[in-house]
Amino acid sequence: MKFSKLSQLFLVSSIGLLVASLLTSCEIVTIDYLFVANSAGSGTSSTGQIETYDVDSETGTLRTGQPIVASGGTNPVSMAVTSDYANLYVANAGNSSVVHFALSGSGVLTQKDEVTAISTPVAIAVNAANTYLYVVSTITAYSLSSGTIGSVVSQETLTVPGYSSDTILPTGVNVLANSEAVYVTAYDQSAYNPGGTTTPTSTANPGWVFGFAVGSGGALSAASGSPYKAGVKPSAIASDPTNRFVYVTDFASNQLIGYTVQSGNVLDFLINGPFKTGNEPASIAIDPRGLYIYVANALDSTVTAYTISLATGTPTAVVNVVGNSLNQTDTQPVAILVDAALGRFVFTANHLGDSISGFQLNPNTGALKSTLATPFPTGSAPAALASVPHGNHSIESVTP
């Protein structure tokens, strides 16, 4: 019997949901809570929501956790969690809100306060000291006090020197683990706008990373030499836990760009990069040990895994035992993370698949293997992921 593609997707999702339901009644041990932000409904009736899943400690299988909560706005695009795992923040592009939720030890989200961004937010991050929340539309730093969002302490416009009239569109934000620097990826729409209604008018390099040092009271100041060239259309950014390396995905050129962090938080290219990815890399994650990089490729619906050379920062693609360096997900993965508790599982949010794909991470090699019953069905158009450890378990943190 032949099935249409739609029928096949429905069958796979139904089987995944059935297995997840059966596991609910089984005795499994939750190691993490996984949160996914998505948009329920469609068009003007769309509302943001956050779904919670329990992650099984042995297999990485997901089961439905706490009840769904509203994201506090529409079209949620990014989430961030404080390092003490007591607070979660979600950026809603539809109404330019950033909403704060308190997190209980059992994974319950309780909405607290919110702020309205100066313009549409695309990404958010919290520093490890839990003192500042960074919202990227421009780059705006808000003070944090016990999780509560306070006043704006610093705000910087993203401008390419010599091209002050160009339109700069940010795409991602990362804070070093030592909280001393913030990096923002962006591209110059005036120089790169394929499919747009106007022809690019600028001769500037299209892709950039803007670097900022964090000073007294949270003040941001541009790092020397910032912004730094970053290919054509940088889409996501991550740094290793030792504050030595920064990695950026280039959506347009299908590559991973690596930098070393120099004195004064200056970025310098890794000498042997850039490095090949799949097609349209959209998101990046580094495991808590700082040993492996995982890139979600939106067009291929795959994940590429890399090992990191601890001496040089050079990423090398991991080849699985089956001889393939690409790991299949459901359709169009746009967000990726490594679980917060043990760093043993990798998950992607699949925007067009309305699902989460799960993988087991081999801690010795970095290779991935699909988890049982993956993909797991979600609400409409999942766009962001966050993970916190279950309260009864320790957190994996090994110095590379």
Residue-wise pLDDT tens digits, 175-212: 999 999 999 999 999 999 988 877 899 999 999 999 99
- pLDDT at residue 287 is higher than 60: yes
pLDDT of residue 31: 83
pLDDT of residue 280: 98
pLDDT of residue 174: 98
Residue 149 in any domain: the answer is yes
pLDDT of residue 27: 55
Residue 399 in any domain: the answer is no
pLDDT-based confidence at residue 393 (cuts at 50, 70, 90): very low
Q: Can you tell me the mean pLDDT for 280-286?
A: 98
On whether the CB atoms of residues 388 and 340 are closer than 8 A, the answer is yes
Mean of the per-residue pLDDT values for the chain?
Answer: 90
Sort residue 159 into left (φ over 0), alpha (ψ -120 to 50) or beta: beta
Give 156's contacts (C-beta < 8 A, 6+ positions apart): 138, 139, 210, 212, 220, 222
On whether the CB atoms of residues 305 and 266 are closer than 8 A, the answer is no
pLDDT of residue 235: 98
pLDDT-based confidence at residue 331 (cuts at 50, 70, 90): very high
- pLDDT at residue 359 is higher than 90: yes
Quick: pLDDT tens for 37-91: 998 754 455 689 999 999 998 899 999 999 999 999 999 999 999 999 999 999 9
Exposure letters 47-59 (e unless 16+ CB within 10 A, then b): bbbbbbbbbbbee
Residue 121 in any domain: the answer is yes
Three-state DSSP string of 200-212: CCCCCCCEEEEEE
State the sign of the Cα–Cα–Cα–Cα dihedral 329, 288, 363, 108.
Answer: negative
pLDDT of residue 295: 98
pLDDT of residue 394: 42
Residue 91 in any domain: the answer is yes
Read off the CATH number of the domain in which 212 is found: 2.130.10.10
Residue 352 in any domain: the answer is yes
Q: Token match 């964090």: residue?
A: 214
On whether the CB atoms of residues 247 and 284 are closer than 8 A, the answer is yes
Residue 218 in any domain: the answer is yes
Domain count, the chain: 1
Residue 395 in any domain: the answer is no
Q: Can you tell me the mean pLDDT for 336-356?
A: 96
Q: Which helix (H) or strand (E) holds 121?
A: none
% the chain with pLDDT above 70: 88
Please tell me the chain's helix, strand, coil percentages from 3-state DSSP, rounded to the nearest 5.
5, 45, 45
Domain span at 380: 5-389
Quick: pLDDT tens for 84-115: 999 999 999 999 999 999 999 899 999 999 99
pLDDT of residue 198: 78
173 C-beta neighbours (distance < 10 Å), count: 24
Token reading at 320:
């699985």
Exposure letters 320-339 (e unless 16+ CB within 10 A, then b): beeeebbbebbebbbbbbbb
pLDDT of residue 69: 95
Q: Taking the mean position of all CA atoms in its chain, how far away is CA 22?
A: 30
Q: Can you tell me the mean pLDDT for 23-27?
A: 47
- pLDDT at residue 9 is higher than 50: no
pTM of the model: 0.90
Cα–Cα distance measured from residue 272 to residue 312, given in angstroms and rounded to the nearest whole number: 10
pLDDT of residue 319: 72
On whether the CB atoms of residues 389 and 32 are closer than 8 A, the answer is yes
Residue 171 in any domain: the answer is yes
pLDDT-based confidence at residue 7 (cuts at 50, 70, 90): very low
Quick: pLDDT tens for 227-275: 999 999 999 999 999 999 999 999 999 999 999 999 999 999 998 999 9
